Amino acid sequence: MGRLLGWAQGHESRYVTICNVHVVVSASRDAAYRDIINGSDMATPDGAPVAWMLRRQGFAGQSRISGPDLMWALCERAETENLLIYCYGSTETTLGLLRVRLREAFPALRVMMESPPFRALSAEEDVAAVERINASGAGFVFIGLGCPKQERWMAEHRGKVRAVMIGVGAAFDFHAGTVQRAPAWMRDNGLEWLHRLVSEPGRLWKRYLVTNTLFILGAARQLLGGK
């Protein structure tokens, strides 16, 4: 937390990847995406299986650090430190609800939000977006574009956006209340994926069927001494 705050206060151009099972498996199968994850200034384990594997690899005490939880904790500190946050992604409706929720929880927090078009931006549009973010004076830019788009966006904009960019996935929806988050007991026991699957089976069944299976196979090979 201290390192992130220091970067934000200095308006350093950094990016943070929050790595769940889907990110880990995608990176293992896509060399360009793997370079983006490896090139991040900080990568955190999002998901009990990822944190568990890190503990098995010798990182004793490593806990899960999820996008929604990190975003909330940083909003709390940003209010105290008078740092402006910028939320980039999602829809106008979701951002409107998110703004209300943040105002209720953190009355003094300075917030700006932007819902970009659901298409590739032109070069001119991208430059304008970067200028808006930098002109805001934001310390943290939370990116809610989904995986792998948000990680690619952050990597492309390191050196351009003068703030700490953090890919927070579905955090905007969770905090806005447009998507219900799994109960704490499910999150603590590595079952948040199951809650999301039951909530959105049509969209997520293939992702979880494929990525969870590949993660288990990869973890087994690694634990048994394979490559």
pLDDT tens profile 168-182: 988 999 999 998 776
For strands 111-114 and 85-89, give the pairing: parallel
Residues forming beta bridges with residue 88, ordered by sequence position: 114, 143
Task: Write down how long the chain is.
Answer: 227
**pTM, two decimal places:** 0.85
Q: Computed from CA positions of residues 154, 48, 196, 76, in that sequence, does the dihedral angle turn out positive or negative?
A: negative
Mean pLDDT in residue range 114-127: 95
- pLDDT at residue 152 is higher than 70: yes
Angstrom distance (rounded) from CA 207 to CA 212: 8
pLDDT tens profile 166-225: 999 889 999 999 987 767 767 666 666 666 667 777 766 676 677 777 767 777 777 677
Q: How large a percentage of the chain has pLDDT more than 70?
A: 84
In the block, which residue shows the tokens 């098995």?
Answer: 56
DSSP letter at 109? -
In the block, which residue shows the tokens 């360009």?
Answer: 32
pLDDT at 140: 98
pLDDT at 222: 76
Task: Tell me the residue type at 53.
Answer: M
- pLDDT at residue 165 is higher than 70: yes
SS3 per-residue string spanning 129-192 = HHHHHHHHCCCEEEEECCCCHHHHHHHHHCCCCCCEEEECCCHHHHHHCCCCCCCHHHHHCCCH
Looking at every residue in the chain, the average pLDDT score rounds to: 88
Q: Computed from CA positions of residues 205, 206, 211, 212, in that sequence, does the dihedral angle turn out positive or negative?
A: positive
